[in-house]
Amino acid sequence: MKLAILGTGPVGQTLAAKLDGLGHSITIGTRSPAATLARQDPDAFGNPPYQVWATAHPKVQLATLAEAAARSEVIINALSGAGSLEGLALAGEPNLAGKIVLDLSNPLDFSKGMPPSLFVSNTSSLGEQLQQRFPSAKIVKTLNTVNANLMVDPGQLAGGDHTMFVAGNDADARRQVAAFLREWFGWRDVIELGDITTARGTEMLLPLWLRTWGALKTPAFSFRVVR
C-alpha cells in the first residue's frame, strides 16, 4: 500500500521503518526535504539527524508534505501537535480528500513548563480541530496513547495484552484503521470509541500518561481496559 507519513521525527521514523519492513511503499513528508537532508546535528532529544536514518532505510522516499500526501492512499500524521494544523494545510486538503488520515498527534503545550499541558482539551480536541479544518479527510485518532516503540510493536509489552483506541467520524474508516492496527502492528485489543469527539478522551489521557511515566520512571507502559 502507498503510505504517507507526515513528520521526520522519531515517531515518523519508527512508523516508516516498520511499514517499510512490511513491504509498503512509504513516503515521508516534510516541509522542506532539502532542509531535512541538510541537517547535520542531533535533535533536541539527542536523536541523530534524518540523513543518518535515511541511509539505513534506502527504500523510504522523502518528499514535501503535499507530494507525500498526493501519491499515497493512506496518510499518517506523525507531526507534533503544535505543527499538525499547519502541516496538514501544507499537505493540502485536495491531497487528503476521501483518504484516511491516522492522526497520532497530541496537543502538548510546552509553554507552561513540564510536564506539558494541552493546548486544546475538555470541550474540543486536536482531532476535532483537524476534522473541522479538513472536512473531506477521514481523520481517525489513534496510537496517541503509547510511545513510538509500542505503537509498532505492542507485543513487546505483556505479550500485547493492552488496549488501543480509535476515534473518528467515519465508521468504515474506524474499522479500516482497527484492521490496520491488527495487521501492521499486531494490536489485539482495539476499542472503537465513536466519532471524532471521543478523541478528547484519548488526548486527555496524556496528563495521566506523563505522570505515570514519572512515577514508573519508564515510558514502556500502556493502558489496558480491563472488563
Supply the minimum distance, in Å, between the C-beta of residue 164 and its own copies: 12
Tell me how far CA of residue 161 lies from CA of 146, 153, 164, 186, in angstroms.
13, 12, 10, 11
Burial 28-47 (b: 16+ CB within 10 A, else e): bbbbebeebeeeeeeeeeee
Nearer to its own copies by C-beta: 37 or 204? Answer: 204
* Stretch (H or E) spanning 108: strand 108-109
Does position 207 bind its own copies by CB under 8 A? yes
Nearest to 48 by CA among 77, 20, 106, 8: 8
Inter-residue contact 72 to 2 (CB < 8 Å): yes
Supply the minimum distance, in Å, between the C-beta of residue 224 and its own copies: 4
3-state secondary structure of 13: helix
Does position 138 bind its own copies by CB under 8 A? no
Does position 192 bind its own copies by CB under 8 A? yes
Task: Give the count of beta carbons closer than 10 Å to the beta carbon of residue 163.
Answer: 18
Binder among 10, 83, 155, 194 for its own copies (CB under 8 A): 194
Binder among 34, 44, 114, 215 for its own copies (CB under 8 A): 215
Does position 218 bind its own copies by CB under 8 A? yes
Pairing of strands 61-64, 25-30: parallel
Supply the minimum distance, in Å, between the C-beta of residue 201 and its own copies: 3
Site string for its own copies, 148-167 (x = CB under 8 A): ---------xx--xx--x--
Does position 216 bind its own copies by CB under 8 A? yes
Residues that bind its own copies (CB under 8 A): 112, 117-118, 121-123, 157-158, 161-162, 165, 191-194, 198, 200-202, 204-205, 207-212, 214-216, 218, 220-227
